[in-house]
Structure 1
Amino acid sequence: MSNQNYQTMSDEQLRDYVRYHPQDIEAFHALMDRLAQRPGVLCTTDEEIEAELRRRIQAQQD
């Protein structure tokens, strides 16, 4: 499978493909690149974790 095909897969499809084809290093790197591009949230205290969870719950309800 070519790298171009990895780009057309959904996150779930690519994750499943990597899970069932662990020898495909290109697919693994495509998945890791995709995950690395996502913004992360750094929570260092319990209060920050609670605030982030509340923000996400509120966003889902809106």
Structure 2
Amino acid sequence: MTQPDYKAMSDKDLLAYVRSHPEDTEAFHTYMDRLAARLGVVCTTEEEIQAELSKRINKSH
């Protein structure tokens, strides 16, 4: 199976991929790295990451 190119995906496409492939930790970390690169998002624990991701997933609906 070919590995998807996460860096070539838009934020929206990568989020959709993460939602449909929750076992793909590399995709999740790539998405979280993108979030962290934006101003105002600092996650230092797994709990904070999960909370931030949940908040952003719910906000995008």
**TM norm structure 2:** 0.60
Q: Which has the higher contact order (CA 8 A, sep 6+)?
A: 1
The structure that is helix-richer by fraction is 1
Shift of 1:26: 0.3
Determine which structure has more spread, i.e. the larger CA radius of gyration. 1
Deviations 1:4-60 (A, max 9, x none): x1000000000000000000000000000010000128xxxxxxxxxxxxxxxxxxx
What is the percent sequence identity of the aligned residues?
59
Q: With structure 1 as the length reference, what TM-score do the two structures score?
A: 0.59
Q: Which residue of 2 aligns with 1:7?
A: 7
* 4+ residue runs over 6 A deviation: none
Q: Which residue pairs with 2:38 in the alignment?
A: 38
Q: Which runs of 5+ in 1 are unaligned?
A: 42-62
1:23 alignment counterpart: 23
Rounded Cα–Cα distance in structure 2 between residues aligned with 1:28 and 1:40:
19
